[in-house]
Amino acid sequence: MDNKAFFKLTYGLFVAGTTWEDKQNACIINTATQATSEPGRMLATMMKTNYTTELIQKKGSLTISVLALDCPLNLIGNFGFSSGRDRNKFEEIPYALDEQGNPYLLEHIIARFSCKVEQTIDLGTHSLFVCAVTEAEVTGSGQPMTYASYRILKTGGSVPGLEKPETAAKATETAAAAVPEKPQKRWVCSVCHYVYDGEIPFEELPEDYVCPVCKRPKSVFVLEES
Ligand SMILES: Cc1cc2nc3c(=O)[nH]c(=O)nc-3n(C[C@H](O)[C@H](O)[C@H](O)COP(=O)(O)O)c2cc1C
């Protein structure tokens, strides 16, 4: 099976947020989608190991913030590459609470939803939350960030509808001038999107190597080239 086929699907990029016992937490997801319109229902598939998932299960509700195409990549890093078990992800992030007390972002989003979990389907490593939408608001006029655009932007590429910030564009030009063009390769966890950056070449890692973030086996990593 070629796991890279999953990268050919079209996804958005979202921040799923919740609150439990005065603790706000959130993480990046690309698996939020509309299920029905009347009544409004959304689905979100989340790794059971995520702290956000644990808190959503306790609270029974969550927010889904739709990231804007021009959102800073470090915002995605803030919510997607570390756990709220280790740090307060909202420390420097402007946010508000919805009617259920769950946090949503006030900047860099174009819409937000409040969701009440109606059903939780056990998918083994993941939980699939089937949710009733209780609030929905358009908060900005820009384009949504897609998973495909994010993957291009994080490797210094450009996407239609988004001007590269001058400094980033300059940095890319300088890097391009200094380094002879050769395809960049990286091993990426297809489950949690962790990018392997160890000293040992990925191919030489032992077969029992597991992703340090989501603990899935070496076999779920895919080789990306750009
Ligand atoms: C681009 C991207 C997409 C992601 N998509 C999902 C997803 O759909 N479901 C999920 O459970 N985690 C997803 N993650 C991983 C979580 O955001 C990540 O494991 C996060 O650190 C969990 O934080 P927490 O422990 O505070 O909940 C994604 C991460 C990135 C960077």
What are the tens digits of pLDDT across the range 67-110? 999 999 999 999 999 999 999 999 999 999 999 999 999 999 99
User: Residue 39, preceding bond cis, omega within 30 degrees?
Assistant: yes
Provide CB contacts within 8 A for 54, sequence distance 6+: 48
pLDDT of residue 164: 61
Report whether residue 83 contacts ligand 1, using a CB cutoff of 6 Å. Answer: yes
Query: Which stretch of 4-18, 66-80, 120-134, 149-163 has the lowest confidence by average pLDDT?
Result: 149-163
Nearest one of 12, 83, 74 to 53, comparing CA atoms:
83
Report the number of distinct structural domains present in the chain. 2
- Which atom from ligand 1 is nearest to the alpha carbon of 28? 17
Q: What is the pLDDT of residues 163-197, one digit of tens each?
A: 765 444 554 454 445 444 556 788 888 877 788 88
Among residues 125, 150, 175, which one ends one of the domains? 150
Among residues 150, 173, 188, which one ends one of the domains? 150
- Cα separation, 29 vs 35, whole angstroms: 16
For residue 160, report the distance from its CA to the centre of ligand 1, in Å: 25
Report whether residue 46 contacts ligand 1, using a CB cutoff of 6 Å. Answer: yes
Entry pTM: 0.82
Q: How many residues are given for the chain?
A: 226
* 63 burial level (CB within 10 Å; 0-12, 13-18, 19+): buried
Same domain as 123, residue 174: no
pLDDT of residue 171: 47
Report whether residue 84 contacts ligand 1, using a CB cutoff of 6 Å. Answer: yes
Same domain as 42, residue 140: yes
Same domain as 77, residue 29: yes
Same domain as 215, residue 175: yes
Same domain as 126, residue 61: yes
Helices (H) and strands (E) in the chain, counts: 4, 11
